[in-house]
Amino acid sequence: MKSSTLSIQILQYEFLGPIPLNEWGPPMEKLVYLILSKDQDKFNILYIDDCEKTDDKSFFVQHPDFKCWVQKSGSEKSLYLAILPMFESSKVQRQNVYNKILSRYKPPCNSGTTPKTEPEYTVRKSEEESLDPQKISCLCCGSEMKAEQILEKSTVYRCTSCGLSDTKLNS
C-alpha cells in the first residue's frame, strides 16, 4: 500500500500538508498550524498559531481571523492548512516555533500580533563570558551555540538548533 503524504518546510520545520482547509477534520492536538493561500504553484502564509486541543469541526470557520484569510486568499477554496505535530511539547515549545515563524514571515492575518512570549535575554559580565567561551546560549531559541570561526579579535558562533549566528569579541 502506497500513501503519499505532502509536506512543506518552513524554516527548519517539516509541516504536514498543505491540504485544502475544507478537507480538515478534528481532532487536532498539540501542534502549530499554518493557514496558507494557494497562488498558482506557490503557497503564501496568511496566519500561524498553535493549538492545545480541539474536537470542534468548525474550529477554523468560526476563527476570529477567518474573514481575513478569505479576503487575503480571494476565496475559501484557496485556503490550505499545514500542521506541525508536537505531541510531547509544552506550550512554551510551541510558542518558540510560533515566534520564529511569525517574526520571519510576518503573516498578514497575524498583523498587530507581537510574539506571545518575550525572548529571555541574559546579560553576562565579560569576565563570565571569558571563563567558558564555548557555553553560549542562542538568543532566539536558547540552544547551545558552537564556535564556528575564530578570528583575530572576535569569534563567530552558530546555533546548533536554529542556525542563528552571533559574533562575540575575544577578550
Domain membership of residue 52 (yes or no) is yes
**Mean pLDDT computed over 10-32:** 93
What is the structure's pLDDT at 115?
54
What is the structure's pLDDT at 127?
42
Q: How many domains does the chain have?
A: 2
- Is 43 in the same domain as 85? yes
What is the structure's pLDDT at 77?
93
What is the structure's pLDDT at 97?
95
Domain membership of residue 41 (yes or no) is yes
With contact defined as beta carbons under 8 Å apart, do 102 and 113 qualify? yes
With contact defined as beta carbons under 8 Å apart, do 38 and 78 qualify? yes
- Is 41 in the same domain as 15? yes
Which of 60, 75, 110 is the last residue before a domain boundary?
110
Which of 83, 110, 137 is the last residue before a domain boundary?
110
- Is 35 in the same domain as 78? yes
Per residue in 60-86, pLDDT tens?
999 999 999 999 999 999 999 999 999
What is the structure's pLDDT at 23?
92
Per residue in 128-171, pLDDT tens?
444 445 578 887 777 888 888 888 888 888 888 788 788 888 87
Per residue in 106-138, pLDDT tens?
999 997 655 555 455 555 544 444 444 557 888
- Is 11 in the same domain as 77? yes
Domain membership of residue 99 (yes or no) is yes
What is the structure's pLDDT at 138?
81
Tell whether omega for the bond before 119 is within 30 degrees of 0, i.e. cis: no
- Is 101 in the same domain as 50? yes
- Is 104 in the same domain as 32? yes
CA distance 28 to 51: 7
Domain that holds residue 165: 126-169
Domain membership of residue 141 (yes or no) is yes
- Is 17 in the same domain as 97? yes
Please give the share of the chain, as a percent, with pLDDT higher than 90: 52
**Mean pLDDT computed over 5-31:** 91
